[in-house]
Amino acid sequence: MLQRFREFWTNVWAPFADLLLRLGVTPDQVTIVGTIGVMGGALWFFPRGQLLTGVLVVTAFVFSDLLDGYMARKTGTSSNWGAFLDSTLDRFGDAAIFGGLLLYYVGPHAETMLGPPRLYVYVSLACLVLGSITSYVRARAESLGMTAKVGIAERAERLVFILVATGFNGIFGLPILTELALWLLVGASGITVIQRVIVVRQQAKSA
């Protein structure tokens, strides 16, 4: 489903990407600006309790992940370097999103939380760490000639879930939406790590 979602929005943004190419903008530049936008939006707005604004800003810049890939394919400049840069900067963006939520839970809006605010500091941190481990397991497996693109919570699913939940939280003032999303992501990310480890173990044994 998310693959069709990516294809749809890639087609929507294609004219803008073509314009950037005509202006001499490179895919790497789009990747870097997109990451800065995601980090800025998450770390500036989330800690201030401006959740909806933060989600809208982050979402706008997340689309750069579609633009840079399209631009690289269009110009025939897809390369290992581009893939490396994109994956590396993705980790910064993901960390900023959950880091921004972590700062939200220690900020002046903490008294609006359903449960103990400090609890969600740790839950946000767990999401940040498990998300990084999930990506690392796949990258490490691929560096060893194996595959680990499995699991119930890949990066796209994690981002869509937390951004949608936090956006509706910002609209309706229901902190429980973000809190439940964080708990579910902790469980789903943990399961995904286990799934990937098992898949890699099976490949290693049969090699």
Residues known to be catalytic: 90
Q: Where are the alpha helices (DSSP H) in 63-151?
A: 64-75, 80-104, 117-143
- Whose tokens are 């839950």? That residue is 123
Closest to 100 in 3D by CA, of 163, 151, 161: 163
Distance CA 47, CA 186 (A): 21
Closest to 121 in 3D by CA, of 56, 179, 37: 179
Contacts of 77 (CB under 8 A, 6+ apart): 26, 27, 71
